[in-house]
């Protein structure tokens, strides 16, 4: 189950993760993203949302049941309402397991796996995933997901 923590467990922690990156205080983009994946894993969604630009473009892979067209959600509120809250409500134990982080200039590529059990079907997944993040001025400005949509659709009963 995805635990969503409101308010953040520590205002200092959220301010540190975000402001340290924005100020460039000994924190590169890869470490910034590692910290955000750790925050997501703890259910600290406010920290993740706070790292996003107000105009972030969030693209799920085409044919993803949550956004089949691949059209971007724009802004943290759209991501929270159209994805994060659904993940928490519709999955047991949904988790992202990052395996490797690759610095690509103003982008960071994250390879990993998704796991969890979809409540409506009772089916579980362990699926390879790749995320591409663009960062500007210490904020996340774009996200692109790549995942095996056939597996995802099978688990969610939409195939």
- Domains of the chain, by residue range, sit at 11-156
Nearest residue to 58 via CA among 114, 152, 130, 142: 142
| Strand ranges (E), 2-123 | 52-59, 73-74, 91-104, 107-118
Q: Band of the pLDDT at 24, cuts 50, 70, 90? A: very low
User: Quick one: CATH architecture of 11-156?
Assistant: Roll (3.10)
pLDDT digits (tens, 9 = 90+) for 37-95: 999 999 999 999 999 999 999 999 999 999 999 899 999 999 999 999 999 999 999 99
């Amino acid at each position: 189950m995805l635990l969503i923590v409101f308010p953040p467990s520590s205002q200092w922690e959220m301010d540190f993760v975000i402001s340290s990156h924005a100020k460039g205080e000994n924190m590169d983009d890869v470490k910034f993203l590692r910290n955000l994946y750790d925050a997501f894993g703890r259910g600290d969604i406010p920290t993740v949302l706070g790292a996003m630009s107000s105009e972030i473009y969030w693209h799920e892979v085409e044919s993803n049941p949550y956004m089949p067209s691949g059209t971007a959600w724009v802004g943290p509120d759209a991501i929270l309402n159209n994805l994060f809250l659904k993940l928490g409500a519709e999955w047991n134990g949904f988790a992202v397991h990052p395996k490797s982080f690759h610095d690509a200039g103003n982008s960071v590529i994250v390879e990993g796996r998704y796991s969890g059990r979809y409540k409506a079907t009772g089916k579980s997944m362990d699926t390879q995933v790749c995320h591409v993040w663009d960062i500007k001025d210490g904020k996340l400005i774009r996200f692109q997901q790549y995942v095996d949509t056939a597996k995802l659709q099978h688990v969610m009963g939409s195939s």
